[in-house]
Structure formats: structure tokens, C-alpha cells
Structure 1
């Protein structure tokens, strides 16, 4: 029987991980959500949206073919590790085209096995079967649950500079689409970005529009949380550095600035663009 791609279950973003014994907690990896499908016709690897990227993941497909099962659908994340052992999204993009041997597939759920649909089984049982399927030390690895209390685990994950935590109900079934049976709590990072301008409208919060350093690529807005004195100093600098809008950007309530102002922004870790971001400080480029 030819198996088909199954739309993945997507976790709900929360401020902090849930407490209690009914959950397991795993590291949230910074990679591409993917699905391995193995059947009599061979191995296929799909993206989160169901695109067949098997040709881009040749080494991982070869590793999946060696799993001692007739057929399976495995949910996981394709990652690359940096020299500190952390998943690195920027390096992942390069590795897909240049360094296939650096790719890993971290498996965290099993949806189908040898002709049986497992999605109605409790998560704990699915993961127990999955763990036994995957040999140690290979390109395909099992995502281990982290022991301890959720608050302590999240603190350690943050200290380690990891993206965050995914918490899953132990007894939950697998259902495609958004779900509150899986919750993701992300850690925050602080980075520097080029300030493009400040958006101010009467009766609304003020936002700083930010770009990636050196490239000018717009990455999103950051809520201005500075104290009154710093806000006044920022607005003074913005007026002194007034400039034209970047090409293609039309935002009528924005005061644009010339290059040279750098913002220090707190934002969710592991996102390509700024999310839940706030401006912490700013400086002029020396």
C-alpha cells in the first residue's frame, strides 16, 4: 500500500510550559519540520506543507531505507548542529545544497507502522514504539523527553541558548492541524538590528521598524518599551537622522531615518523575522 503524506499537528504558542505530570517536554529544534514516509515503493521525505523534498535529503532517505520496518510515517525535524551542539537554522540552508552529511532527522512521533494507523494511540505509546525503531548514533535520532519539572527544564533550555520547549499531553491522539495538546514555549534572545524608522499614531503604541544588520532586509517591528527619557532621546535622534522610506515600503505614519541608528531588540529565539519583539535600547553607529 502506498502511504500518503499526513498534514502535521501544529503546536500552540504559549508564554510558559504547562505544569503537572500529564505532559512530556522536548527540546524545540531550530530546523525544518518534515515527515518521512517509507513503504514498498521506497522512502519519501516531505516538507511541513507536503512538498516532496526527497532529492534534497538523499543521505537521510538512505538512512530511513535502512530502518527495519516494512512501512512507516515518522514526524520530525531536519536539523544541522553547530560546533556547540545546537541546531542552527542558518547552517541548515547551506547544508541542504552543500553538506548533506551534516543533516540529521530528529524523530518525535510515529503516525503509521507496518500497515497500522497509530494516530488514535496515546502519544506515550507511539513514542515508545518509535524509540525502539531507531538505532543509536545514526542520521535519524529520537527526540528524548527531558526529565524534571517544566519550569526548571525551561530555565535550563533558556540558559543553554536553545530555541524553546515543546510540551505534549502524554495521553493525546494525533490530529492534523493546530492543537492545544502540543504547546510550544519559546525562549527570548537579544540582538542588534538597523533602525529603519519609527511608526507613531495617536492613541496607539509606538513601534520601531527594524532591518537585518548589513543587508537592509526588513525583519519586522519592535514595540518601544523604553522609559520616557529614552523615548524622548530616541525621537530626537530619529528627527536628526530623518531620511527617505526604503524602496517598496509605504507606511504613512512612519518617520524614516538614514542608516546609522542601531536598536537592541528582545525577540523570540529561532524565528526568521521578529516576533513578540520589544526595543530595549539604541545607539548610534560609530
Structure 2
């Protein structure tokens, strides 16, 4: 089944997946990719996955499948940053001034910017909020206007 093209695999899977089985079969959307992405973005979806119709299934990264995410850019207050060796830093974000959680983001900036951000986070380090478990490699940020704020991208939430 792995060597069959995407279109033929979809036809086989469509015949196997039972309605109301808990597995959702996504419909193929033929057409202009820019128009499809625009509609997905306007609907508040995370993004789209584009696949070459004749591409065989391969695990891992491939140029035959392309994931295009919707993002917005805005300014958020940092609640917490997780930083583990070999992994991208991960930030929990809040609405500025309210500390209301709005989402999370991987901090995917260059090394200089990442180090600058980490230094600012450490300068404003604080304890975790009440009833929050301590997590390794996590730095919480004190509440208030003195907390570091950065323009960060976050995934749209439907």
C-alpha cells in the first residue's frame, strides 16, 4: 500500500473507513492552492496539507507533501518558556495586561534573538502559578507590566 500513489490510496481508504467510525476522512480539494489556503485561513483553520496525487507514501519529511500553516503576528505577554537541549523553545502566551492564556508557540528565531529573549525571561523569572506542577526546563515569568513581551507568531485557534 505504501508504493501506491496518493490518489489510489485515498480511494482504497475511502472504501475501508466506515461512516461514524470516529475516523474522519478528509476530502481532497482540487483547485488553486492559494484560493484553498485563503479559505482555510479565513475559516480559522490551522492550515492545509498539500500532496502530490501520484506520490507514494513515505514516512518522514518529503517534498511530495507540504504543510502550510496559518499564522498571525501580534504582541503577547509570556507566561512560561520551556527550553530543552536539542529542541525548539516553547512559549505559553497571554493577552497583554490580563495574563489570559491565548495559545502557545515554538520560538523559532535566530540564535541571537533566542538568547536575548531567554536573558529577558530570566531577568523576570517567577514561580509557577498556584496548583501548577513544576516542569523540568521550564521558566515561569512574573506577572505584571515588567514581564517581557515580544512580537511572536502563534497558531490560529478555531
TM-score bin (small chain): 0.5 to 0.7
Corresponding residue for residue 144 of structure 2: 259
Aligned to 2:125: 246
Does residue 11 of structure 2 align to residue 125 of structure 1? no
Deviations 1:27-77 (A, max 9, x none): xxxxxxxxxxxxxxxxxxxxxxxxxxxxxxxxxxxxxxxxxxxxxxxxxxx
Alpha carbons 1:193, 1:263 under 8 Å: kept: yes
- 1:181 matched to 2:64? The reply is yes
1:269 equivalent to 2:150? Answer no
Shift of 1:166: 0.4
Number of aligned residue pairs: give it: 117
Select which of 88, 93, 112 maps to 1:212. Answer: 93
1:220-275 deviation per Cα after TM superposition (whole angstroms, max 9, x unaligned): 6587xxxxxxxxxxxxxxxxxxx93415789xxxxx9972168474525269xxxx
**1:139–1:263 distance in 2 versus 1, CA, 3 Å:** same
C-alpha distance after superposition, 1:93-145 (max 9, x if no partner)? xxxxxxxxxxxxxxxxxxxxxxxxx1111111111111111233331221111
Secondary structure of the residue aligned to 2:44 is coil
Q: 1 or 2 for the larger relative contact order (CA 8 Å, sep ≥6)? A: 2
Which of 154, 177, 180 is the matching residue for 2:37? 154
CA RMSD of aligned residues (A): 3.8
Separation (CA, whole Å) in 1 of partners of 2:155 and 2:5 = 30
1:141 is paired with a residue whose SS is coil
Matched, 1:167 2:53: no
TM-score normalised by structure 2 residue count: 0.56
- 4+ runs of 1 displaced by more than 6 Å? none
Judging by fraction of residues, say which structure has more strand: 1
TM-score, structure 1 normalization? 0.33
Q: Determine helix, strand or coil for the equivalent of 1:145.
A: coil
Contact 1:193 1:211 in 2 (8 A): no
State the alpha-carbon separation in 1 of the partners of residues 53 and 105 from structure 2. 37
CA–CA separation in structure 2 for the residues paired with 1:149 and 1:120:
27
**What is the deviation of 1:158?**
0.5
Structure 1 unaligned regions, length at least 5: 1-117, 197-209, 224-242, 251-255, 272-286
Q: 1:145 to 1:126 in 2, by over 3 A?
A: same
User: In structure 1, what is the Cα distance between the partners aligned to 2:39 and 2:93?
Assistant: 28
